[in-house]
Every structure is written in C-alpha cells, then in structure tokens.
Structure 1
C-alpha cells in the first residue's frame, strides 16, 4: 500500500481545555474543511523529516514531543502517517494552504466543518499510547466502513520510506 502523506495534530491546553491547531484548507482534497497540518512526503525525504518540514512551512511553530501515532488508510490503496505534537507557544505564520486556528477538542469531534473521518481516530491519536491503523473504506466519497487495527509497538522502526 502506498502511504504518501503525513498529518499532525498539534495541541495546547488553555483554561483547562485541550485545543488543536487546525487548518481550514484552501485546496482539494477536503477544500473548505478543517484538518490537521501536513502534506505529501517529498522524494528522498523520511517520514519524520516530512512532517517536521510541513509543520514549519504551514505554521511557523517549533513543537515539542512530536510523536508518531499510527496510520489512517482509505480503501487499502493510500493513506497518511499520523503524528501528534505539543505547541511551544510560538507565533503562527500566515499559511498559503489556508487559515490556521486553535479549536477546542470537543468542537473538532462534533462539527461538520472538520474533515469527517477525524472523529474516528482523533481520540486515540491524542490520548492513547497504543499505535493503530485506522482503516476507512469509501465508495463515491461515502464512508462504508471503519476498522481500528493494532500496530506493533516497533512499527515506527519498520518504516523504511
């Protein structure tokens, strides 16, 4: 399976609430939807280098505790490597990809304005230690099924891209 993308959910805590840095996308896929930050892995780039580059390019932030959390796949043909990180309190830059904003965790999980599949995996990405594959099956952009599969703890070591 080809996994050409990375995504990261950057968090901070304000007034006792978890907030997530979200990007209102200007471009397809998911145009006009809120999503985490990330993008396509460039040729010759490691997966970790790709997500670190995307975070800097899209947010201007340096983050703490950047951590691989699993993979999201669709139709067993493509997918993305999922990370989480913590905000260091820097200043956000203007992003060519879209508008950046801190959104409460609850809002992200409940709104129709965010990419629809986030609610199937965000809780585990942010709050659990186990690694998972979140396998989604779509037909004509309609979600048909979702399955959460455990990944081995050494999965990040198996990544060779």
Structure 2
C-alpha cells in the first residue's frame, strides 16, 4: 500500500487545482490530496483529504488508479490518484488561499496544454486517461513516460 493520494475534482470542463506552497512540488499546480492515515483505505483517505483541503464533501470517485515508479534505490513507490465529478450546481469561489496553497478552477484545456510547464510532472500523461473512461487504472512511470493499463 502506498502512503499518498492525489485527487482531481472536476466540474463541467474545469478541475480544482492546488498551487502548492510547500515541498514536494512547491509552486506547481496539482490536485489536492495527502497522506493516508493509519487504519484508512486509500478511498477513505482520498475523500477525507478533499474535504480537509477544500471543504467539499464528495461521495464517490468517477475514475481512479495508481501511478507507480522505481525509486533511485530500485524500490517500487507510488501514489493513488482519483477523479471526482462534482455536482454541476456546486458553487465554490476561487482563487482561495488555504494552508496548502492556492486553490483555483482551471480549464482542462489549460491543464493539458503541451506548453504548460506549471503542472506536476506526470499529470498531463495520466489525467487524459482518467477523464476519458470510468474505471480503475495502473500507470507506470518509467524513463519520463507514463504507461497505463485498465484493471
């Protein structure tokens, strides 16, 4: 089991993104998320993190997966990724300053634009898959590329 989650909350054609104020990936736009607490499943930890970091209470995910990579020591590491579909009538004003950074709704086109250097490294590679299909996925990051499979 991995230690962390990253969660993307989608509403219409936008995703709620966090520009982090702290390491890791300080100054980079990413989903919200964090450490899974003792006794939590990844699914429960992800829902809790979204609520803690945004105040938005969600019930279920739309799509999820894991992103794995090999550490410099040759060990397998990874993170659980989630895509949630927020109610289209949700009113959530941004930008919003939080203890983690700045939350803001960003268009999917902006997030995935090939010249956007402000997005976390692997997001542009695995987010399109999460957006296209419901289901569970495994993404493997190797040599700068992300490979996926459905499970």
Distance 2:144 2:21 in 1: 27
Structure 1 stretches of at least 4 aligned residues deviating more than 6 Å after TM superposition? none
Instruction: Indicate yes or no: 2:123 matched with 1:118.
Output: yes
> Which residue of the other structure, out of 35, 45, 52, is the alignment partner of 2:30?
35
- 3-state secondary structure, aligned to 1:81: strand
Shift of 1:86: 1.8
Q: Deviations over 1:82-140 (max 9, x none)?
A: 11112231446642111000001011112111112111100111121343211113xxx
Q: In the alignment, what sits opposite 1:159?
A: none
- 3-state secondary structure, aligned to 1:102: strand
Distance 2:144 2:121 in 1: 13
RMSD: 1.9
Q: In the alignment, what sits opposite 1:106?
A: 109
Q: Mind listing any 5+ residue stretches in structure 2 that lack a counterpart?
A: none
Counterpart contact for 1:134–1:148, Cα < 8 Å: yes
TM-score of the aligned structures, taking structure 2 as reference length: 0.83
Q: Mind listing any 5+ residue stretches in structure 1 that lack a counterpart?
A: 138-143, 153-161
- 3-state secondary structure, aligned to 1:3: coil
